[in-house]
Amino acid sequence: MRTLPKRLEKGDTVGVIAPSSPPNLENLKKALPFLEELGLKVKMGKSVEAKRGYLAGDDDARLSDLHAMFEDPEIAGIICAGGGYGAARYTDRIDFGMIKENPKVFWGYSDITFLHTAIGQYSDLVTFHGPMLASDVGKDEFHERSARMFGQLFGPFELHYSEEISPLTAICGGIAEGELVGGNLSLLRSGIGTKFEIDVKGKILLIEDIDEEPYRVDEMLNHLRMARKLDEVAGIVIGDFKNPEPKKPEKSLTLDQVFDDYFSSLKVPVVKGFRIGHCEPHFSVPLGVKARLDGDAKTLTILPGVE
């Protein structure tokens, strides 16, 4: 059983970091009033405004920000400004023991998936897959439902997803119960063969991605299949795959065909259509808590992510 971080309270201070690429600073500035409306104060990481090509400063600076926010007793939670690329470059140098001793809310998605997996497996901490400040909150299209999902940080309540939120399709029926793990498919795939390879045995795997053509999703799912990950899962939640259109549609499978090829013969529930990922609204979920996926009723129930 992973450790639940302490719930946030009005008046708490949250740390904002850029663990991967440089965030859009204009969008980040627009997002800060949202945190203030939640009753939170903000402390910026030192590398948030740094740039080194496609990275938000060098690896040492970004790692230092992550460590500093977890170590600082005045910081109640950490919210990522954006994703992009680069979190995996320093993950092998993270002080997981220190994080385990200082459990707190950690929130982000996309490239942050690599950190979710590592922190979950080596610090035994529940983390949150949810929209980020510059990437999502600071944009005009940020949805009211996405905003409401931050409420799960302020009190322990169960999440329930059904077709009232979005149309869902069961590729395989049945019922599964287990820890919810996963996130961005390309980051999950990149961890295979490393010490940060995701453990999916008996767990419900969430996958989502962006800007990946069907043949790329095919290649990534085949990697998971050959690594025996699809043999071990208890169930699969297919989130949003944004912009999957192939450059040559006449020579491509559809994304639905790819999913059917890999999942239709599995003897576990597999449901697609969840608005989880690079989408609006974005249904935020805690990772590392017990969940129940019902492929027959097409529902997903997730236990609280805070204590």
**Tens digit of each residue's pLDDT (9 = 90 or more) over 37-82:** 999 999 999 999 999 999 999 999 999 999 999 999 999 999 999 9
| pLDDT score, position 161 | 98
* pLDDT tens digits, 174-226: 999 999 999 999 999 999 999 999 999 999 999 999 999 999 999 999 999 99
- Mean pLDDT confidence for 77-98: 98
The residue whose two tokens read 């690429």 is 21
Cα-flanking dihedrals φ and ψ of residue 237, to 5°?
A: -105, 115
* Amino acid (1-letter code) at residue 185: L
Q: Mean of the per-residue pLDDT values for the chain? A: 98
Global pTM reads 0.97
- Residue found under tokens 């439902």: 145
Among residues 20, 21, 47, 110, the one annotated as catalytic is 110
Catalytic residue among 21, 47, 208, 213: 208
Confidence check: pLDDT of 28 > 90: yes
From CA 20, how far away is CA 28, in angstroms rounded? Answer: 15
Burial environment of residue 96 by CB neighbours within 10 A (0 to 12, 13 to 18, 19 or more):
middle
Residue 116 among the catalytic residues: no
pLDDT at 155: 97
CB 91 within 8 A of CB 120: no
**3-class secondary structure per residue, 247-273:** CCHHHCCCHHHHHHHHHCCCCCCEEEC
d(CA 74, CA 49): 22
278 counts as catalytic: yes
3 state SS for the chain: CCECCCCCCCCCEEEEECCCCCCCHHHHHHHHHHHHHCCCEEEECCCCCCCECCECCCHHHHHHHHHHHHHCCCEEEEEECCCCCCHHHCHHHCCHHHHHHCCCEEEECHHHHHHHHHHHHHHCECEEECCCHHHHHCCCCCCHHHHHHHHHHCCCCCEEECCCCCCCEEEECCEEEEEEEEEEHHHHHHCCCCCCCCCCCCCEEEEEEECCCHHHHHHHHHHHHHCCHHHHCCEEEEEEEECCCCCCHHHCCCHHHHHHHHHCCCCCCEEECCCCCCCCCCCCEEECCEEEEECCCCEEEECCCCC
* Residue 129 a catalytic site member: no
List, in order of start, the domains of the chain with CATH numbers.
Answer: 13-153 (3.40.50.10740), 159-302 (3.50.30.60)
- Tokens matching residue 55: 């990275």
Distance CA 17, CA 82 (A): 8
74 C-beta neighbours (distance < 10 Å), count: 10
First-to-last CA distance in the chain? 13
Closest to 32 in 3D by CA, of 20, 21, 18, 43: 43
With cut-offs at 50, 70 and 90, classify the pLDDT of residue 1. confident
Query: How do residues 261-301 score in pLDDT, each as one tens digit?
Result: 999 999 999 999 999 999 999 999 999 999 999 999 999 99
Query: Which residue of the set 123, 278, 282, 284 is catalytic?
Result: 278
- ∠ CA 92-282-186, rounded to 5°: 35
Work out the average pLDDT over 215-240.
98
Is the confidence at residue 123, as pLDDT, over 90?
yes
